[in-house]
Structure 1
Amino acid sequence: MLRRLLASTAAVIFLITAGWVTAGNHSPASGSADGHGAPGHARAGHTAHDHTFSPAQAAAIIAQAAAPLRGSEFRAECFSSHRRGDDPIVFPGEAGRSHIHEFYGNRTANASSTLQSLAAGTTNCSPSVDLSSYWTPTLYKNGAPVAPERVTVYYQGITDHTRAVAHPRGLRYVVGNATATSPDQNPAARWSCVGRPESGRDFVNCPPGTKLENYLDFPTCWDGRNLDSTNHRDHMAYAAGQTCPASHPVVVPRLELLITWPVNGGGLTLAGTRNGNNVTDQPGYTFHGDFFNAWNDSELKRRVADCIVAGYICGTDGHPIQQ
C-alpha cells in the first residue's frame, strides 16, 4: 500500500513539474510475427535506440503514470543476473555491439537469445516460471558500475483489466528514449528516492539514508499480430485512459519495473550511446528498458485470469494476497 501511495504522489508531482510535449510521430507499424528478428535492425544502427514520442503518446504515458492502481496485479521479484554490451532485440546476433546493459531474470540472455534459448535457460526471478529477460542501461556511481539491489516487475491491470490477455510468448519491445537530449523527450521513466514522493525525469539527489529508484512504465495495448516491429515499438501503444487505439486493440497488463539501487547522492550516470558511440556518462533522462517474454505460457495466462481479470493483487506465486 505504501508503494501505491508514494507512486501515485510521485506521479502527480511529476505531472506538475515536468514538461512533456515533444515533436514527431510514430513511424508506420511493421514487423514479423514469426518470433525472429524484426526487419531493418541491421540497417538501423544506434539510431534504433532513438525515439520521439508524439504529443498524444506522451500525454498518454504521463496520464498512465498518474492513474490510480486498481487492485489488479501480480509480480515477479528479480535481481541483476549479468552485465554485458548486448541487446538481443535491437542488435540480435551482434555480441558487444550495444552499450552496457544490466540484465535481470534469465541468466542466459545475450545478443543471440531467442525464445527457444530463453525457454531452455534458468532465471533468478521468483517465480521460476518467468524465464523472461528484462534489461536496462547500467548505472554508474562516480564511474563505477552499480548493480541494482532488487528489481520488482509489476504486471498491472490499469487498462480495461477485464479484457486483458497474456502477452504472447516471444513478444518483445523497447520503451524509453536512450538518445534523449532533454528530460521532456523521455516521459516513460521517472527517478525518485525510496520513501520520498518527489520524482523527476533526470537523476534525483537522494539524501543519506535513502536509496535511488526508478519506475519504468511499459505500454498496455498490442496490435494483436506482431511479436516485434522495425523500431521495436510500433506493435505496442499506450492507452488513452481505458481505451486502446483501434490500431492496437488487444489489452495486455502494464509492465512496470521498479528498480532500486543501493546508492544516494550525486555522481550518477548511465551507459548509453552518443554520436554513434557507446559511452558510460549519459544523463538520467536517457533511461530505457527492454522486455523479451519467455514466461511459461499456461502460468502467465493463469495469472492474468486469476489476478488481472479477476481484480486481485497477487504475490509472486500468482495467488491473491489482497482484494
Structure 2
Amino acid sequence: MRRILAAAAAALFFLTTACTSSGSPSGGHEHTGGKGQHAAHAYRFTRAQTAAITAQAAAPVRGSEFRAECFSSHRKGDDPIVFPGEAGRSHIHEFYGNRTANASSTLESLSAGTTNCSPQVDLSSYWTPTVYKDGVPVAPEKVTVYYQGITDHTRAVAHPRGLRYVVGNALATSPDQNPAARWSCVGQPESSRDFMNCPAGTKLENYLDFPTCWDGKRLDSTNHRDHMAYAIGQTCPSTHPVVVPRLELLITYPVNGGGLSLAGTRNGTNVTDAPGYTFHGDFFNAWDENELQRRVTTCINGGYICGTDGNPIEQ
C-alpha cells in the first residue's frame, strides 16, 4: 500500500511540475541567514529537485530496507538544528525517538539519552511540526522511519554520527513549493501535498522523504540542507558523491475529517494555523555506529527488507 500511494502521489507531482515549470524561475535557496526571520525554514526547490523527489516517491522498494518504529516522545517549541541553544524560539514540534531532545541537544547528550524507538540502538531524534485538529494538538499514533536503498544501494554507506539536516519547506506559500511531503488517508490511494479530508473509519497520514546524497564532508551546513542533495535517478551529483539510505517518515495520526492545521511560522511569528503544505522535518543521527553500519551492510547493500531488528524478513 505504501508504494501504491507513492505512485499515485508521483502522478500528481509530475502534473504539478509540468504545469509550473514553464512560468517560474528555476529556483534556488531562500536563506538570508537571519534567525529572527526563521530563514532556515524556507527553501525553494528547483525544477530538477522537484522532479527527482517526485520520481523517488514512486520508486519501488524491492529490497534494501530496514526500519525503526517510534512514537511521539514530547512536544516543544525547540529546534536543536535551526535554533540551537534557544529554548522556546521555534514553532511547536513533535519529537520522536530520543526522549531528551531539546534546543540544547548535541550528539553527546543524545547518546547519553533514552529512546522510545524500536530498536533501542537508535538514539536519533526526529521531529516535525505539531498537527492540530480544531486547534487541539494531536500526537501521532505511530511513526515508522524507513531507511531505504533507492539510490545505487550497493554503494550506500551509513549516515555518519552527528549528521543532521532539514527537509521540506516550512514557509511554502502553495502546495507546489513543497514536493518532499505528501498527505494521504490510511488505506486510500489518493494523496495530496495539502491536508486530506479523510473519511470516517480512516486516519490521516504523512510521508516525508529525505535526500540520499551527502557531500562526504560536513555534518551540517548554514541552511542545514546544502550538505545533502537529491539523486537524479540512480546518480548522485559530483558535489555530493556519497550515497546514504533514504529516510522516509510515515506518520499516522488518529484523526480524520477537516479542521486540520500545523504549527508553523508566518511573517517571523510562530503560529498554529499553518497549512498542510508547509510540513517539514528534521533528523539528528545518534544511532549506535556499529549497529547502523551492520544494518546498512546487511539490508541496504545486501538487498533485503529487514525488520526493526535489522534482520531480513523477505527478499
Structure 2 length-normalised TM:
0.95
1:99-128 CA distance string (max 9 Å, x none): 000000000000000000000000000000
- Counterparts of 1:281-296 in structure 2, within 5 Å, are 281-296=273-288
Aligned pair partner of 2:100 in 81, 90, 108 = 108
Deviation, 1:15, is 2.8
SS at match of 1:18: helix
Aligned pair partner of 1:193 in 185, 192, 207 = 185
User: In 2, distance between residues paired with 1:310 and 1:266?
Assistant: 43
- 8 Å CA contact 1:189–1:214 kept in 2: the answer is yes
- Report the CA distance shift for 1:60/1:12 in structure 2 as closer, same or farther (over 3 A): closer
- 8 Å CA contact 1:175–1:288 kept in 2: the answer is yes
Deviation, 1:12, is 3.5
- Report the CA distance shift for 1:107/1:54 in structure 2 as closer, same or farther (over 3 A): same
Name 2:112's counterpart in structure 1.
120
- Report the CA distance shift for 1:127/1:320 in structure 2 as closer, same or farther (over 3 A): same
Aligned pair partner of 1:204 in 196, 207, 217 = 196
User: In 2, distance between residues paired with 1:18 and 1:194?
Assistant: 23
Partner amino acid, structure 1, of 2:136: A
Partner amino acid, structure 2, of 1:51: Y
Name 2:259's counterpart in structure 1.
267
1:278 counterpart = 2:270: yes
Deviation, 1:43, is 4.7
User: In 2, distance between residues paired with 1:61 and 1:235?
Assistant: 17
Partner amino acid, structure 2, of 1:169: R
Aligned pair partner of 1:10 in 5, 8, 11 = 8
1:242-286 CA distance string (max 9 Å, x none): 000000000000000000000000000000000000000000000
User: In 1, distance between residues paired with 2:304 and 2:12?
Assistant: 27
Name 2:220's counterpart in structure 1.
228
1:25 counterpart = 2:28: yes
Deviation, 1:310, is 0.2
Aligned pair partner of 1:98 in 49, 67, 90 = 90
Aligned pair partner of 1:55 in 27, 47, 55 = 47
Partner amino acid, structure 1, of 2:129: P
Unmatched 5+ stretches in structure 1 = 29-39
- 8 Å CA contact 2:30–2:44 kept in 1: the answer is no
Deviation, 1:71, is 1.1
Deviation, 1:62, is 0.8
Deviation, 1:63, is 1.1
1:24-72 CA distance string (max 9 Å, x none): 22489xxxxxxxxxxx966564111001111111111111111222311
SS at match of 2:257: coil
User: In 1, distance between residues paired with 2:113 and 2:34?
Assistant: 26
Name 2:250's counterpart in structure 1.
258
Aligned pair partner of 1:141 in 133, 147, 154 = 133
User: In 1, distance between residues paired with 2:98 and 2:12?
Assistant: 32
Name 2:60's counterpart in structure 1.
68
Name 2:69's counterpart in structure 1.
77
Unmatched 5+ stretches in structure 2 = none
Name 1:35's counterpart in structure 2.
none
Deviation, 1:322, is 0.3
Name 1:162's counterpart in structure 2.
154
User: In 2, distance between residues paired with 1:173 and 1:266?
Assistant: 31
- 8 Å CA contact 1:13–1:199 kept in 2: the answer is no
User: In 2, distance between residues paired with 1:64 and 1:237?
Assistant: 13
- Report the CA distance shift for 1:27/1:271 in structure 2 as closer, same or farther (over 3 A): closer
User: In 1, distance between residues paired with 2:152 and 2:297?
Assistant: 13
Aligned pair partner of 1:183 in 172, 175, 186 = 175
Name 1:89's counterpart in structure 2.
81
Partner amino acid, structure 2, of 1:10: A
- 8 Å CA contact 2:63–2:304 kept in 1: the answer is yes
User: In 2, distance between residues paired with 1:285 and 1:173?
Assistant: 19
User: In 1, distance between residues paired with 2:121 and 2:248?
Assistant: 19
